Chain A
Amino acid sequence: MEPILRTESVTKIYDTGSLTVKAVDQVSLEIYPGEFVALVGPSGSGKTTMLAMLAGLLNMTQGSIRIDGHELGMLNEKEKTYFRREKIGFIFQANNLIPYLTALENVELMLRLNSTNSQYCRDEAKKLLGRLGLSDRLHNLPKQLSGGQQQRVAIARALIHDPSLVLADEPTAALDTERAYQVVQFFSELVHEQKRAGIMVTHDLRMTQHVDRVIQMVDGKIFKIIDDRTEIAAMSTGGRI
C-alpha cells in the first residue's frame, strides 16, 4: 500500500542573521490510509512547525514532502492554496469556526470553496454532523455551541470534502478532559472509517489512546516512534508532557 504522506529529511531552519535555529531536523515519516498518528513532544519540539510544513503553510528549508502523489516543494503559493482546500482537512486549536456561519454553513464552506455544494453534498454535511451528534445544532452559530460541539463541527468541516490528509493542531487544548476524549474518539473513528491519514499534534499524552502510532519529537527531531498498542495505552495514562 502506498503511503498518503511521505516526508524525507524535512528540515526547517530559522535564520535571524545573528541566530540560527533548527526547528525541524531531518524528519522522515510515512503515514498510510486509515492511519491516525499523534505527534507529541514538549513545547518547542517542532510539532507545530512540522504540521505547518505538511500543510504547505510554511516552506521547508530542505527535504521533501509528498502528499497523495503531489510534491509540496514543487507547488507555488497559488497551487498550495488549491492543494490545501482539496487535499487537506484542518482542525485548529482555537478560533476554528467562522463566527458568522452556522454549524452547517461552516461545514458547507469547504464544499463551496471546492465548488461542490450540491444538494447531495449538503445532505452529506447534515449526515456527517448528525453522525457527530449535532443534528439539532445545524443552524446554531458557533457562539451558541459548547467548546466540544465546536470542535466536532470542525472535525466535520475537516472531513466533508474527502481530503487525503487531516491535520489537527492541539484540537483538545481548550476542552475539559471528558469532552477532549470524546472529540479525539470521533476524529479517530472517522479517519479510520474513511481511510484518511490523520495527524494530531498534542502535548496531552492522555489523548493518544485512540491513535495507531505516536511520534515523539524532541528538539526538532523524531525522538521515538511508538506503534505498540500496549505501549501507547501505557503512555496515554501518563498525562501531559
Chain B
Amino acid sequence: MSFYLASKEIWRNKGRFLLFSLVIALITVLVLFIAALAQGLGLANKEYIEKLNAELIVFQEKVELSTTTSRVGLDKLNDLRRLKGVADVGAIGFSSATLVLPNGQKSLDISLIGAQSDKPGMPPVLSGNPIRSNRGYQAVIDGSIASRNDISIGDEITVKTIVGSEDKFYRLKVVGITDGQQYFYQPSVFIPFETWDKIRPQATEGQSQYNLVANVIAVKLTNPQDIQIMAKYIVNQVGDVEVVDRKTAYEATPGYSAQQSTLNTQQGFTLLIGILVIGGFFQIQTLQKVPQIGVLKAIGTQNNIIAFTVIMQIILVTIIGVALGSIGTFLLSLGLPNGIPILLTGKTAIITIITLLMIGPIGGLVSVQLALRVEPLTALGM
C-alpha cells in the first residue's frame, strides 16, 4: 500500500520529484568528486610509501619524520641487518628532479628515488627487468610516466638536476616499468642508490661523501605482525633513530593530514547540506499535504502506511538522485584532464554512495514525524 501511494505520487508529479532528484544528483557529484580528490591527492602524496615492500621505516631522530631532512648513514644498515627479527633492509634516498622530454614537450617534475637493487625500497617491475646493480645509469620508471609520455623499455631518458646554480643533465636507460609509485605529488623514477647519490641535486658540486647517507632505511621483518615490538627494539638497539610503520610515515608528510582533514570536512559539510536540503524539501512537501494526510487517516489509513509512504518516496528520490549523480561523476571524470588527481576506489565509492543513500532517510526523519503527527480531524477542518 505504501509503495502504491508513494509510486503513484512520484509518477504523477514527475517533474517536481525529478527536479529534486537532480538536486541530490548534484550533491552526489560534489561529494563523490571531493572524495575522489581526497583519495587522489592522498595517493599522490603517499603511494610509494604505502606500497613499500617493508614494514618499518627508520628515520633520523628529531627530524619529525621528514624524509628529506632525515639523514641515516649506511653504517646503520649493518647494525640493522644483524638484529634478530629483521629479514632485510634497504637504503632509500629522495630528491626532486626534472624529466626532460624530447620534441619540445613540457618537462615533467619527478621524484628521483635512489634504492638498492633487490632490497626493500626498490619496487617490483611490471614489465622489463629490475635494476641489477647499485651503480650504473639505469632506471625503473613509474607506469604513469611511461604511458603519458610514450616511453618504453630500452629508451633513454634525460633527467635534469641542479647542482649549485648549474643544471646537470643525465641520461638513464629505462630497464623496467613499475606500477603507480607517486611521491610528493610527482611520479617516481627509481635509480641505483649510488647513482642517486652522484646525480641528486646538491648545494655545491662534489658533496657526495665517502660514507653514503640515505634519507631513510626500509626494514622488512621476519614476522610482519611484530611491528610495534620491533620498532621499539630497533630504537633501543640502534641509536639516534626513530622507527615507524608506513602509515605513520606518510601521515607525517608535510601537509598530508591538513589536506585530508580539509577535504574530509568539506565532504562532511556537503553531506550535512544534503541532509538539510532533503529534510527541508520533504518537510515543505509534508506541510503542503497536511489536509490530504488528514483525509487518508480519517478514512482509515494506519500511521505505519503514512510513514512508509513518506520514507519510500525519500528512498526512491534519493536512489534516483544518487544514481544520476554517480553516472554524472563517472562521465565528468572521463572528461577531466590527466593532471587533476582524482581517484575513487571501489571501497571508497561504495562507502560514499551508502553514506549518500543514508542522508535521504536521515534528512526525511522530521517530515515522517510531521506526517505522523497530523490529526485525522484536520480532514473535518477541526
Task: Please tell me if the beta carbons of B291 and A90 are within 8 angstroms of each other in the complex.
Answer: no
Q: Restricting to B339-382, which residues have a CB under 8 Å from any CB of A?
A: 376-377, 379-382
Task: Please tell me if the beta carbons of A48 and B299 are within 8 angstroms of each other in the complex.
Answer: no
- Chain A residues with CB under 8 Å of B335's CB are none
- Report if A92-B377 is in contact (Cβ < 8 Å); known contacts: A78-B302, A101-B8: no
Q: A49, A57, A78, A93: which contacts B298 (Cβ < 8 A)?
A: A57
- Chain B residues with CB under 8 Å of A86's CB are 300
Q: Does chain A have a CB within 8 A of B4?
A: yes
Q: How many residues of B contact A (CB 8 A)?
A: 25
Task: Please tell me if the beta carbons of A92 and B295 are within 8 angstroms of each other in the complex.
Answer: yes
Task: Please tell me if the beta carbons of B8 and A110 are within 8 angstroms of each other in the complex.
Answer: no
- Report if A52-B380 is in contact (Cβ < 8 Å); known contacts: A95-B295, A96-B295, A100-B8: yes
- Chain A residues with CB under 8 Å of B298's CB are 55, 57, 84, 90, 92
Q: Mark A22-64, 1 if CB is under 8 A from B, else 0.
A: 0000000000000000000000000011011001011000000
**Of all chain A residues, which has the CB nearest B379?**
A92
Q: Does chain B have a CB within 8 A of A223?
A: no
- Chain B residues with CB under 8 Å of A78's CB are 302
- Report if A141-B377 is in contact (Cβ < 8 Å); known contacts: A110-B299, A112-B1: no
C-alpha spacing A86/B302, complex, angstroms: 13
- Chain B residues with CB under 8 Å of A100's CB are 8-9, 11-13
Q: Does chain A have a CB within 8 A of B77?
A: no
- Chain A residues with CB under 8 Å of B11's CB are 100
C-alpha spacing A185/B298, complex, angstroms: 24
Task: Please tell me if the beta carbons of B1 and A113 are within 8 angstroms of each other in the complex.
Answer: yes
Q: How many residues of A contact B (CB 8 A)?
A: 33
CB distance from B340 to the nearest CB of A (A): 44
Task: Please tell me if the beta carbons of B377 and A58 are within 8 angstroms of each other in the complex.
Answer: yes
C-alpha spacing A100/B9, complex, angstroms: 5
- Report if A82-B300 is in contact (Cβ < 8 Å); known contacts: A96-B295, A100-B12, A105-B8: yes
Q: Does chain A have a CB within 8 A of B270?
A: no
C-alpha spacing A194/B379, complex, angstroms: 25
**Of all chain B residues, which has the CB nearest A154?**
B295
Q: Mark A70-97, 1 if CB is under 8 A from B, else 0.
A: 0000000010011111101010111110
Task: Please tell me if the beta carbons of A98 and B295 are within 8 angstroms of each other in the complex.
Answer: yes
CB distance from B380 to the nearest CB of A (A): 5
Q: Does chain B have a CB within 8 A of A99?
A: yes
Task: Please tell me if the beta carbons of A95 and B1 are within 8 angstroms of each other in the complex.
Answer: no
- Report if A169-B300 is in contact (Cβ < 8 Å); known contacts: A95-B292, A112-B1: no
- Chain B residues with CB under 8 Å of A93's CB are 380-381
Q: Does chain A have a CB within 8 A of B248?
A: no
Task: Please tell me if the beta carbons of B12 and A52 are within 8 angstroms of each other in the complex.
Answer: no
- Chain A residues with CB under 8 Å of B9's CB are 100
C-alpha spacing A57/B5, complex, angstroms: 23
Task: Please tell me if the beta carbons of B8 and A85 are within 8 angstroms of each other in the complex.
Answer: no
- Chain B residues with CB under 8 Å of A81's CB are 297, 300-302
Q: Does chain A have a CB within 8 A of B74?
A: no
**Of all chain B residues, which has the CB nearest A97?**
B295
Q: A49, A95, A109: which contacts B379 (Cβ < 8 A)?
A: A95
Q: Mark A210-223, 1 if CB is under 8 A from B, else 0.
A: 00000000000000
C-alpha spacing A148/B297, complex, angstroms: 23
Q: Does chain A have a CB within 8 A of B296?
A: yes
Task: Please tell me if the beta carbons of B299 and A57 are within 8 angstroms of each other in the complex.
Answer: no
3 closest residue pairs by CB, A with B:
A85-B300, A100-B12, A95-B291
Taking Cβ atoms with an 8 Å cutoff, the residues of A that contact B are 48-49, 51-52, 55, 57-58, 78, 81-86, 88, 90, 92-96, 98-101, 105, 109-110, 112-113, 141, 157, 169
Q: List 15 A-B contacts (CB under 8 A).
A: A48-B381, A81-B302, A84-B298, A84-B299, A85-B299, A85-B300, A85-B301, A93-B381, A94-B291, A95-B291, A99-B12, A105-B8, A112-B4, A113-B300, A169-B381
New A-B contacts (6) at CB < 8 Å, excluding given A58-B382, A83-B300, A85-B299:
A51-B380, A57-B379, A81-B297, A84-B298, A90-B295, A100-B9
